[in-house]
Structure 1
Amino acid sequence: MAYKDLRDFIRKLKEEGELVEIEYPVSSYLEITEIADRAVKAGGPALLFKNVDGKEIPVAINLFASYKRLKMALEDDPDNIGNRAAKLLKPEKPSGFIDKIKKLVELKKIADIFPKEISKSKAPCKEVVEEPDLSKFPILFCWPKDGGRFITLPLVFTKDPETGERNCGMYRLHVYSKNTTGMHWHWHKVGAKHFWKAKKMGIKKFPVAVAIGSDPAVIYSATAPLPEDVDEMVFAGFLRGKPVEMVKCETVDLEVPANAEIVLEGYVDTEEFRFEGPFGDHTGYYSLPDFYPVFHVTCITRRKNPIYPATIVGKPPMEDCYIGKATERIFLPLLKTQLPEIVDMNLPIEGVFHNFAFISIDKRYPGHARKVISALWGMGQMSFTKNIVIFDKDTNVHDIGEVIWRWGNNVDPKRDIIFSEGPVDALDHTSPLPFYGSKMGVDATRKWKSEGFTRDWPPDIEMDERIKRKVDQIWDELGLPSPIKKPNPWSWGY
């Protein structure tokens, strides 16, 4: 059953003991960040601050900051979601009458996930229509050296000025005044593509709408690395099992989720750029200030008593790490449709998702690992991955100890490491040029004679299975404590 809106999800978290409401007065200037950071690193609950800066608008944070809460938000295990998505992209051909009926049912379900427009009179986000004044909201000043206050969980809606195709992305907004913010569009993002296309077409005021606070499937979808031609609101409908209700804006030709808490309407001036940042980012470092477009807010619509959702990023682990791990599991089956030799993938949180990818493959021919490395560097956001390490299928890539052991023992640096140059993540502060730098691929698989390895590759040390079974049977009689099985650190079970 899909959540109606953000507050419906918050109610569910409270029922499950996953939310703490805080009445104590706190400041949006640094204090909420410090509290939320300590809470997430201790495995704590979601937080709802009800007395922030003396304002009557509560701040919700860490809503997705655990495996259990992420699973609750998506209403399914991320692995299951990925398998369902892959099945839709690669459907099996029905073999009989019953199979054909089942396929018709599946197609009907697909049709039912497309967003639908509702009237303004039925949209909760239209309860109040007012002049822009961002100072009314408890917008966070996150870290001491930040350039100002930032809206950190915005759903930014634009349309391709040529095709009219919708995009929804999550791009932070640096608040400059009561009605202007920065628009942090990286070059590689679809929002930036729409902006530059509009500028080229001579459109001075490019329409933008920003929704703050929606149901969790919509919020997650804004972060998902979808292909450019896939509408995030369709994907949200797929996740929630029913269409997202959209409503037209008051002053721009855009639609936003009707269940939003707050909506900022306006435009980005294609001739205006301003220093945005610094900002304490998910890399654990401050992203340095740079010139970005300016968003002018011309109208605000909202609920009468809105909730202001926020997130903070910084040194991992933080809330975005859990969102990123969900993305890893959801998109792994889709990745396998292109590269079926892939067995598993780990984007470790310490690598902040674009620094490391540990991949296990079913190696079938000489140079197979290098082929996979090259293929991944040519696929969407995987192209930004700075270090890709390929292992054999029997390696648990989620066990960092095993990863380092295999890497150290299976790699001859001169033979097994390849370097490439190309686009890198905009937040990579090590590249000599912005957006462009080097990457490393490592073949940590066992080497074959057909790959030029002329020596014998030694086998792994493994105990005889018969002896292992016998020791299992007599273990309790030995008077020894039960061995602790090392859990998969990224298991979604709870």
Structure 2
Amino acid sequence: MTRMDMPPGLLGKLKKLPQLSKMSESFPKPVSSGPVTKVVQKNPTFDGLPILKTWVGDAGRFITLGLVATRHPETGVRNLGVYRMQIVDGQHVIMHWQKHKRGAQHSEISKAKGERIPAAIIIGGEPSTVFSGIAPVPEGLDKYLFSGIVRKKGISTVRCKTIDLEVPANAEIVLEGYVDPADLRDEGPFGDHTGYYTPVEQYPTFTLTGAMHRENPVYLTTVVGKPILEDAYVGKVIERSFLPLIQMFHPEVVDFAMPAAGWFQGMAIISIKKSYPGQAKKVMMGLWGTGQLALTKMFIVVDDDVDVQDINDVIWAITTRADPARDTTIINNTPTDTLDPASPLVNLGSKLGIDATQKTIQEGFTREVQEKVTVDDRTRGLVDSRWSTYGL
């Protein structure tokens, strides 16, 4: 659910009650215990976990699919984020949350108050919760609620034993502690999803204070490296799930694709039903101002007769409908993904927009638009009937 308009009048509001009731079923439900509370460790350590060192150049072992739970220090909205964590010793990891991520933003608010921020590392659990941790949901939406919306039933939560946070009761493992924004350590290098080793940078330290887990927990992890790897399939689910949200703000959008080879932040392709001049650039600018899409380096906009999931069709549109001087937009000094290996400065670079839509006379295209080669219905019918005759 991304939108529910409130109708005018008492009768209209009463008619919405069934929808509100369904929404309430998605809210998280606190419980006193759950599968993850079966075993509580008094002297927890990272040493017993099968944490991977994936690539020969990695600085050490990294947790690569832990959901990091934090709570906004002022609003109380809970967040789940996936940030890599380098093992330092049995009680400490380095928390690689980038400037643009909500966990880092929560930490900065706590730092301004002179406080450390409670955090929990959640390993494994229900697919909807793992998806919620990865998904770029709108600002202010509680990730636990989003998980319930995805699964159409609220998740159960339990309180941590050593910190003031709630965690999913059906998790496999929960590692409790706090992040000290003043305790910075060198993190990396690490083979990342861009296909390059990220350079050494300083990030804050997480200290382990407690742990609990199922009786026979499963350690959920993934391998990160040059695409296309496992994370590509999670990214495709996010792409499909968030198309309706994009269409809510930009109703002209027909489809949206983030090719896995572009590590998702590198490139996005958007098809639109064009109805006025300059509309492709309007969509680009709007999406560059929307949440995590602000970090996307390249946007390609095509007409609705182009299949954004077919890269050959997209290349055809670029080469037949875009003029480099007229249809290329470059914007300097914009936010970039911290992991982008090409940006001239960390977190700061440029954007590229390609308008590969068919230009109109209102956009200064004075030539006659050439007719596109297509198969006529009669020929299509003849071919289809022949294939059917031979059982193909």
Q: Would you call these one fold, judging by a TM-score over 0.5?
A: yes
Task: Tell me, yes or no, if the aligned pair for 1:266 and 1:297 is still in contact at 8 Å.
Answer: yes
C-alpha separation in 2, matches of 1:186 and 1:227: 18
Match of 1:311 among 222, 228, 244: 222
Displacement, 1:128? 2.5
Percentage of identical aligned residues: 46
Mean Cα deviation higher: 441-450 or 460-469: 460-469
TM-score normalised over the length of structure 2? 0.95
Question: C-alpha offsets along residues 129-187 of structure 1, whole Å, 9 cap, x if unaligned?
Answer: 22121111111111111111111111111112222221111111111100000101100
Displacement, 1:100? 7.5
In structure 2, the partner of 1:453 is 365
Task: Tell me, yes or no, if the aligned pair for 1:262 and 1:300 is still in contact at 8 Å.
Answer: yes
Matches of residues 261-410 of structure 1 in structure 2 within 5 Å? 261-410=172-321
In structure 2, the partner of 1:224 is 135
C-alpha separation in 2, matches of 1:286 and 1:140: 16
C-alpha separation in 1, matches of 2:342 and 2:186: 21
Match of 1:424 among 336, 340, 353: 336
* 1:188 matched to 2:100: yes
Task: Tell me, yes or no, if the aligned pair for 2:177 and 2:210 is still in contact at 8 Å.
Answer: yes
- Give the count of matched residue pairs: 391
Displacement, 1:469? 1.8
Mean Cα deviation higher: 428-437 or 295-304: 295-304
In structure 1, the partner of 2:29 is 116
Displacement, 1:212? 1.0
In structure 1, the partner of 2:351 is 439
What SS does the corresponding residue of 2:277 show, helix, strand or coil? Answer: coil
Which residue identity lines up with residue 216 of structure 1 in the other structure? P
* 1:138 matched to 2:46: no
Question: C-alpha offsets along residues 418-457 of structure 1, whole Å, 9 cap, x if unaligned?
Answer: 1013101111011111001011001101111110111112
Displacement, 1:101? 7.4
Displacement, 1:406? 1.1
Displacement, 1:194? 0.7
Task: Tell me, yes or no, if the aligned pair for 1:94 and 1:103 is still in contact at 8 Å.
Answer: no
Displacement, 1:470? 2.9
Match of 1:412 among 323, 329, 344: 323
Displacement, 1:210? 1.2
Question: C-alpha offsets along residues 304-346 of structure 1, whole Å, 9 cap, x if unaligned?
Answer: 3221111111122211111110001100011100000000111
Question: C-alpha offsets along residues 263-291 of structure 1, whole Å, 9 cap, x if unaligned?
Answer: 11111112110011111111111112210
Mean Cα deviation higher: 164-173 or 468-477: 468-477
Question: C-alpha offsets along residues 236-281 of structure 1, whole Å, 9 cap, x if unaligned?
Answer: 1111121111111111111111122211111111211001111111
Which residue identity lines up with residue 233 of structure 2 in the other structure? Y
Task: Tell me, yes or no, if the aligned pair for 2:253 and 2:271 is still in contact at 8 Å.
Answer: yes
C-alpha separation in 2, matches of 1:153 and 1:464: 51
Task: Tell me, yes or no, if the aligned pair for 1:130 and 1:301 is still in contact at 8 Å.
Answer: no
In structure 1, the partner of 2:86 is 174
Matches of residues 200-211 of structure 1 in structure 2 within 5 Å? 200-203=112-115, 205-211=116-122
Displacement, 1:463? 3.1
TM-score normalised over the length of structure 1? 0.76
Q: 1:213 to 1:472 in 2, by over 3 A?
A: closer
Task: Tell me, yes or no, if the aligned pair for 1:123 and 1:247 is still in contact at 8 Å.
Answer: no
Q: 1:467 to 1:209 in 2, by over 3 A?
A: closer
Match of 1:259 among 158, 170, 181: 170
Displacement, 1:95? 11
What SS does the corresponding residue of 2:47 show, helix, strand or coil? Answer: helix
C-alpha separation in 2, matches of 1:196 and 1:223: 21
C-alpha separation in 2, matches of 1:432 and 1:262: 40
What SS does the corresponding residue of 1:133 show, helix, strand or coil? Answer: coil
Which residue identity lines up with residue 110 of structure 1 in the other structure? M
Which residue identity lines up with residue 115 of structure 1 in the other structure? P
In structure 1, the partner of 2:71 is 159
C-alpha separation in 2, matches of 1:90 and 1:409: 41
Which residue identity lines up with residue 130 of structure 1 in the other structure? K
**Structure 1: tracts of 5 or more residues without a match:** 1-84, 483-494
Which residue identity lines up with residue 113 of structure 1 in the other structure? S
Which residue identity lines up with residue 32 of structure 2 in the other structure? S
In structure 2, the partner of 1:214 is 125
